[in-house]
Structure 1
Amino acid sequence: MEQLTVIDHPLIEHKLTLMRQKETSTNDFRRLMTEISTLMAYEVLRDIPMHEITIDTPMETTTGRVIDGKKVVIAAVLRAGSQIADGMLTVVPGARIGHIGLYRDPKTQVVVEYYFKMPGDLHERDVVVTDPLLATGHSAVAAVDRLKEYSPRSIKFVCLVASPEGLKILTEAHPDVTIYTAAVDRELNADGYILPGIGDAADRVFGTD
């Protein structure tokens, strides 16, 4: 799958293993998600556009390359996508933040949007969509569908754990979107949860049931 990158750095694998454990506290789960997101940001933003500026070192005038963090938009899928956004902001503090609120209707299984707020001039920006889990893939497709209405320069999707089923759905719907994940797990269960997975990421981040 050409558009998939699995970021399997030992530090990320270690922290993800700790997150998977059911006895991990809310505080530790939240901290680990932030730490993994920060580590993943280095690979996700490897090709971020740069430009050259003139600077004065203590020795002489020279030039150096810098990024324009303001051209990066981190689009957090609510609720727990905001925790990944927080981790990435430690690397690109100048990034703009957008939010996409989606839920799956329990009767129809149709994805419903209840909130959408993005920075202006999205056509001039690179968007990184963050959501801890790529499970069925339907929410991810809906989020990317909505973003493409504004024609951003590029869209990437970042999650901690993906299912084979979700990857298939997202890549078929949006073959131009690069996907970054820390792990591809075995399968979905009958209720649409990833196995072995990490449970309900939002509930574990916020301490809700």
Structure 2
Amino acid sequence: MRLSVIDHPLVAHKLTALRDRGTDSPTFRRLADELVTLLAYEATRDVRVEPHPVTTPVSPTVGVRLSTPKPIVVPILRAGLGMLDGMVRLLPTAEVGFLGMIRDEETLQATTYANRLPDDLSGRQCYVLDPMLATGGTLVASITYLLERGARDVTAICLLAAPEGLEVVRTAFDDVAAVTVVTAAVDERLDSSGYIVPGLGDAGDRLYGVV
């Protein structure tokens, strides 16, 4: 597993505002959207491209465009939806799949309850969106699901990560596939309930309210 922690003043500034318990849901959604776009810029540094001829107003030249098959963006429901707009703003031609995962609050184990993905992901670069990498259970289950469909190049974009979750992901995939985690920060630890400390609370609830 490759870890990329984005050390940029704007990333730190927006993350600080997201952490603030006084930030309301509309502001939280806007900040998360802006932060994801900054993280996505770094996460797509290795996106595959191919040469593409183009004629400028002055002369012909050769540029690049995204290779086929197109990359696929996979938000993890429900909180990952709050990251989708920021990601597709940067990758508007990418396809979007959806994966529904739910975590048992007692065992902290994640299970799949819904998916909208191609049956074959061979050769596809997959970008998984999940705000919080806490215990690592949800992300491991999600990436495993993608690997079972043929994916071998997966990048997870998370607003925050905990050391415990990163170690779980590293252990699960180091010898299996190319997995990268891109995050704005690695926090101190998990608490006894599996929440990241200091964290920013429950990202889904702060994005959409408690339902």
Same fold (TM over 0.5): yes
Distance 1:123 1:6 in 2: 27
Pairing 1:199–2:198 present: no
AA partner of residue 207 (structure 1): G
Q: CA RMSD for the aligned pairs?
A: 1.5
Q: Which of 188, 191, 195 is the equivalent residue of 1:189?
A: 191
Aligned mates of 2:200, 2:98 — CA distance in 1 = 23
Alignment of 1:21-170 (within 5 A): 21-68=20-67, 71-119=70-118, 121-170=120-169
Amino acid at match of 1:93: P
How many residues end up aligned between the 2 structures? 208
Q: For the Cα contact (< 8 Å) 1:70–1:94, is it kept in 2?
A: no
Deviation of 1:153 (Å): 4.0
Instruction: Give the 3 Å change call, closer, same or farther, for CA 166–28 of structure 1 in structure 2.
Output: same
Which residue number in structure 1 is paired with residue 19 of structure 2?
20
| One-letter amino acid of the structure 1 residue matched with residue 17 of structure 2 | L
Local SS of the residue matching 2:97: strand
- Kindly provide the amino acid, as one letter, of the partner of residue 209 in structure 2: G
TM-score by length of 2: 0.93
Match for 2:52: what amino acid? Answer: I
* Structure 2 residue matching 1:147: 3-state secondary structure: helix
Identity %: 42
- Aligned to 2:90, the other structure's residue is in SS state coil
Residue deviations 1:151-178, cap 9 Å, x none? 1241111101000110111111012311
Query: Tell me, what secondary structure is at the counterpart of 1:143?
Result: helix
Report the secondary structure of 1:123's partner residue: coil
Indicate if the aligned counterparts of 1:75 and 1:130 stay in contact, CA closer than 8 A. yes
TM-score (norm 1): 0.94
Alignment check: 8 A CA contact 1:70 1:95 kept = no
Q: Give the structure 1 partner of residue 180 of structure 2.
A: 178
172-181 vs 28-37, which deviates more? Answer: 172-181
Q: Kindly indicate whether the alpha-carbon contact (under 8 Å) linking 2:77 and 2:100 is maintained by their aligned counterparts in 1.
A: yes
User: What's the counterpart of residue 6 of structure 2?
Assistant: 7
Q: Which moved more, 1:102-111 or 1:187-196?
A: 102-111
Structure 2: which 5+ runs fail to align? none
Aligned partner letter, 2:15: L
Residue pair 1:69, 1:95 contacting (<8 A) in 2 also: no
* Residues 2-24 of structure 1 deviation map (CA, whole Å, 9 limit, x = unaligned): 61110121101000000000000
Cα distance in 2 for partners of 1:107, 1:22 equals 25
Specify whether residues 163 and 51 from structure 1 end up closer, same or farther in structure 2 by C-alpha distance, changes over 3 A only.
same
